[in-house]
Amino acid sequence: MTAVTAPLRPPIWRRLVGFNLLTGIVLGIGGWYVGWFGAHAVVGPSLDYFGDVDYNELSVFMAYIGGVVGFLIGLGFLNYPARRLLGYPPSLREKETGGWARYFGLCTDHKVVGIQYLWGIGLFFFIGGLNAMLIRFELLRPTHQVFSGGTYLTLVGMHGTMMMGMMSSGILGPFANYLVPIMIGARRMAFPRVEALTFWLLMAAGAILTTTIFFGGFPTGWTGYEPLNVQAAAGMDCYILFFALAGISMTLLGLNMIATIVTMRAPGLTWMRLPIFVWGVLSTASLMVLAAPVLIAVLSMSALDRAAQTTFFSASGGGSNYLYENLFWVFGHPEVYILALPGFAIVLELLPVFARKPLWGYRLAVAGLLGVTLLSWMVWQHHLFVSGINGDLRPFYMLSTELISIPTGFTFICGLMTLWRGQIRFTVPMLFCLAWFFNFLLGGLSGVFLSDVPSDVTTHGSFFSMAHFHYTIMGGLVFTFFAAIYYWVPKMTGWQLNETLGKIHFWTMFVFFNSTFAPLFAIGFLNQPRRVNVYAHTLQFLNDWVSVSAFCLGTSMLIFLFNLVWSLAFVKKPALANPWASRSIEFQLPSPVPVHNFDRIPVFSSDPYGYGEGPVPQWVPAGAPAGRD
Amino acid sequence: MASADVTQESVGYEILEGEPPELLGRNLVAAGHLLAGATAFFFVAFVFAYFYLRSLNSAGMWKPKGVDSSVGWGTAIVACYLLSALLVRLGLADHLALRRDQWRLKGLAALLIGIVGLVLQVIGWTQQGFGPADGGFASVYFGWTAFLFLFVLATLLWLEMTLATSLRYRKIPTGAPPPGHAAGDRHRERHDIRDPLSLVRAELVALSFYWTFLAGIAVLTWIVLYLI
């Protein structure tokens, strides 16, 4: 192979001028003001910004829309569409050169986008985690301590919204973007610019949500229920814009994933040879493509109610707040599986590697993933059991919710049978996978209480449901997110993470996660309501226990952060190309993977799970990668 | 991160360049169908809102007196969208039959008629005699038509891109355009897609499917918002 090395780097001032993050931020701020003044010019004569008490919702919406457009212009996202409008032909790639600069702008290398996602989502995950710490700090005492009721609600809302919105792309963003093209033997995603756009839209969304505190926050929690929504201060607009942008990002991410998997698989990679991780991505992506547009639609209605005086959700104006609740949960429940399914897929992908056995029941596992995907559309009204829905609807939704445990059980069976009589290696990624079994089992079993109408009526608004979804989402997704980090980051960066620190991180996280959330089941049964920062004095001991555990859980995240920075920035121990002796194709490539992935498109002749079934598959010599040595 | 390594990392341009156009063609056709699925679910929310609010008729404010959409305006707008989509389909047939001049004519006509439809929609909003705050139906009407407007606008931009490429390179329908004509990496010497101009057809296939689908949604809009 003849490779062209990137030319000598220009001076730093030259690199700062051009389409990059810095320009994006500058134009984003400029666009914000253009939108703000523009909307004021349209709606009214007032130009007294910030000190303005008669601001209007339109100005807030237009300011942020202007900001996002400016941000994207600064990053260079409008150059290509502009050239296409002038008639220039299509192209695929931009700025796939070497060097650091590509991480701070529009880059169409799927591996760069994956790493951008990892750091970007990590940043907002950290902010969301800090919110959680503040919430638990407030709950150390049963009466008001630091925050007012409104501020406390904003903290709860920001934590929930940030985590749900960002972590929806928590696996697909970093890991699927990085790995799916490699796993299917392709050199790119179907639409590389769209792939980059999904990341930068999500970052813009995160920044918008963070600024809600300048506009009075929002009192609705992550669900944004009406009529609180339409009555809230301008901070609510930030929530609406955040979720709408995250929804657009999710839709495009899902679309890109499906198009990639369906149209770009290498020769020989039949559906039944597809890595189970890719099946998980495909299931999740299909939910994203279909569910996120409903979210965008309902938030658009909400924005119109606030800015254009429509009455979608106002009963006195011919609307209904139940409309919001229904549409939100048509998205909201598939969203739960958008979060959970990638976790299932990671566990099933990693278990064979560390049990040294083929994946048990591959077809059953695929059926489980697809079954969950299908059934997740039929359960949304269980979120409305206590909202006064027609009683006749309850049995159906109770049954459909409980049915979903069957395909979920397939995943459990396949995982457990893969472990059975395996030669298990207790590496850090494997420990996180094993923890998933315990956590998700508790999350699933407590879910039965919430799917049954009689028990749901008593537990719905309490900390019980909060404990349940933290067991499923944090126990199911975040643990597997860390499994994926420890498993794939050495491949992605070329540097090894410290194993001892990783194990300390795991054990502290596992112990304090359970110590934080298990008592919340009891607190919920004792009727402590969610989203309120005062509670009965008799519950103070349990609450203090939970808060202290939560602080320790937060500390375990700092151990991880230290490990990451220490290992990648200071120790820099080179990772082996295949540190886990995996048979998956990404581990047959050098670390980090070259820009073009493969010299020749590989030909697949088997699935990647044949541990103990002879030598490495044939596709390795057929697709011999271009090394960097 | 491996800072020393990534700055010296080589890029296999010779491998990346010259990708067969069929691959992006398949991507585009798949994306057209997926986009249709996403669009369907977006508008399902408005269909749901229509029937839900209509059945509730909260405070008798579903359709207060004087709130009724003009069938004439609706028919004119939807007819434009339908005609535009039909012309794109006929243009695709011309392109497949290698009658590229005919495709370009039909494409131009489709673009103009689509724009007329959008202009009629803007005028139509001002002629309805009710505003977005006038009850449940008015809310659904303005929300639904506003977003349909945006979807149609985006589709027409896509049509313009395809048409503009076809017009700009009308004398070289296939083969590589001059160096530097495709946007992208400044270090690159060749196009990253071999024969990028041949992708006009794949774009047209995807666009034609999506525009027809959207015209179908426009017909649904007409039935629900103007006829029922």
Residue B4 included in any domain: no
Q: Tell me, what CATH number does A218's domain have?
A: 1.20.210.10
pLDDT for the residue A603 = 92
Picking from A15, A61, A91, A566 by the largest number of B CB atoms within 10 A of its own CB, the best residue to mutate is: A91
User: Residues A76, A210: one domain?
Assistant: no
Q: Which of A68-77, A230-239, A548-557 has the lowest mean pLDDT?
A: A230-239
Residue A57 included in any domain: yes
Q: Does residue A614 have a pLDDT over 70?
A: no
User: Residues A72, A135: one domain?
Assistant: no
Tell me if A212 sits within 8 A of A239, measured CB to CB: yes
A86 in helix, strand or coil?
Answer: coil
Of A30, A64, A91, the one marking the end of a domain is A91
pTM of the model: 0.93
pLDDT for the residue A616 = 52
Q: Tell me, what CATH number does B110's domain have?
A: 1.20.120.80
Angle, CA A478 vertex, CA A279 and CA A163 arms, to 5°: 105
Task: Determine the Cα–Cα distance for residues A544 and A516; give it in Å rounded to an integer.
Answer: 10
Residue B7 included in any domain: no
- Token match 């008001």: residue? A144
Residue A1 included in any domain: no
* Alpha-carbon distance A309 to nearest alpha carbon in chain B (angstroms): 5
pLDDT for the residue A618 = 44
Of A68, A91, A114, the one marking the end of a domain is A91
Which residues of B, range 29-88, sit inside 8 Å of A by Cβ? 30-31, 34-35, 37-39, 41-46, 48-49, 52-53, 56-64
Residue A627 included in any domain: no
Q: Does residue A513 have a pLDDT over 60?
A: yes
Contacts of B147 in chain A (CB under 8 A): 297, 300
- Name the token pair of A140: 């150390």
Residue A479 included in any domain: yes
Q: Does residue B6 have a pLDDT over 50?
A: no
B188 at A interface, C-beta within 8 A: yes
Of all residues in chain A, what percent carry a pLDDT higher than 90? 76
Q: Does residue A7 have a pLDDT over 80?
A: no
User: Residues A115, A36: one domain?
Assistant: no
* Alpha-carbon distance A507 to nearest alpha carbon in chain B (angstroms): 26
Mean pLDDT, chain A, rounded, equals 90
pLDDT for the residue A49 = 45
Residue B184 has its nearest CB partner, among A91, A99, A312, at: A91
Q: What is the ipTM of this complex?
A: 0.93
Residue B1 included in any domain: no
- In this prediction, residue A183 has a pLDDT band, given cuts at 50, 70 and 90, of very high
pLDDT for the residue B14 = 67
Q: How many CB atoms lie within 10 A of CB B151?
A: 17
Task: Determine the Cα–Cα distance for residues A58 and A43; give it in Å rounded to an integer.
Answer: 8
User: Residues A84, A105: one domain?
Assistant: no
Q: For chain A, what is the domain count? A: 2
In this prediction, residues A302-320 reach a mean pLDDT of 94
3-state secondary structure labels for all residues of A49-68: CCCCCCCCHHHHHHHHHHHH
Using the beta-carbon criterion (under 8 Å), do A87 and B48 form an inter-chain contact?
no
pLDDT for the residue A95 = 77
Name residue B193's beta-bridge partners: B19
In this prediction, residues A303-315 reach a mean pLDDT of 94
User: Residues A39, A171: one domain?
Assistant: no
Per-residue model confidence as pLDDT tens digits over A71-110:
999 999 999 999 999 998 888 888 777 778 889 999 999 9
Q: DSSP letter string over B115-127?
A: HHHHHHHHHHHHT
User: Residues A96, A86: one domain?
Assistant: no
Using the beta-carbon criterion (under 8 Å), do A289 and B137 form an inter-chain contact?
no
A319 at B interface, C-beta within 8 A: yes
Q: For chain B, what is the domain count? A: 1
Q: Does residue B59 have a pLDDT over 70?
A: yes
Task: Determine the Cα–Cα distance for residues A617 and A603; give it in Å rounded to an integer.
Answer: 10
Per-residue model confidence as pLDDT tens digits over A108-134:
999 999 999 999 999 999 999 999 999
- In this prediction, residue A57 has a pLDDT band, given cuts at 50, 70 and 90, of confident
User: Residues A79, A212: one domain?
Assistant: no
* Alpha-carbon distance B146 to nearest alpha carbon in chain A (angstroms): 10
Task: Determine the Cα–Cα distance for residues A164 and A162; give it in Å rounded to an integer.
Answer: 6
Residue A88 has its nearest CB partner, among B35, B37, B182, at: B182
Task: Determine the Cα–Cα distance for residues A319 and B139; give it in Å rounded to an integer.
Answer: 8
Using the beta-carbon criterion (under 8 Å), do B30 and A190 form an inter-chain contact?
yes
User: Residues A83, A125: one domain?
Assistant: no
Using the beta-carbon criterion (under 8 Å), do B133 and A317 form an inter-chain contact?
yes
Q: Identify the CA nearest to A183 among candidates A264, A116, A117.
A: A264
Residue B222 included in any domain: yes
Residue B10 included in any domain: no
User: Residues A172, A32: one domain?
Assistant: no
User: Residues A223, A238: one domain?
Assistant: yes
Q: Which of A533-537, B49-53, B213-217 has the lowest mean pLDDT?
A: A533-537
Contacts of B188 in chain A (CB under 8 A): 93
Task: Determine the Cα–Cα distance for residues B124 and B121; give it in Å rounded to an integer.
Answer: 5
Task: Determine the Cα–Cα distance for residues B9 and B3; give it in Å rounded to an integer.
Answer: 10
Query: Which domain covers residue B29, as residue numbers?
Result: 15-227
Q: Does residue A588 have a pLDDT over 50?
A: yes
pLDDT for the residue A56 = 75
Using the beta-carbon criterion (under 8 Å), do B12 and A90 form an inter-chain contact?
no
Contacts of B157 in chain A (CB under 8 A): 81, 85
Picking from A1, A61, A96 by the largest number of B CB atoms within 10 A of its own CB, the best residue to mutate is: A96
User: Residues A411, A488: one domain?
Assistant: yes
Residue A310 has its nearest CB partner, among B31, B57, B133, at: B133
Residue B2 included in any domain: no
Residue A629 included in any domain: no
Of A91, A125, A150, the one marking the end of a domain is A91
Longest dimension (CA), chain B: 73
Query: Which domain covers residue A373, as residue numbers?
Result: 92-622
Q: Identify the CA nearest to A224 among candidates A165, A176, A272.
A: A165
- Token match 């679910």: residue? B41
Using the beta-carbon criterion (under 8 Å), do A317 and B196 form an inter-chain contact?
no
Residue B6 has its nearest CB partner, among A81, A92, A100, at: A100
Task: Determine the Cα–Cα distance for residues A443 and A454; give it in Å rounded to an integer.
Answer: 19
Q: Identify the CA nearest to A73 among candidates A10, A7, A27.
A: A27
Residue B47 included in any domain: yes
Which residues of A, range 182-241, sit inside 8 Å of B by Cβ? 187, 190-191
User: Residues A118, A216: one domain?
Assistant: yes
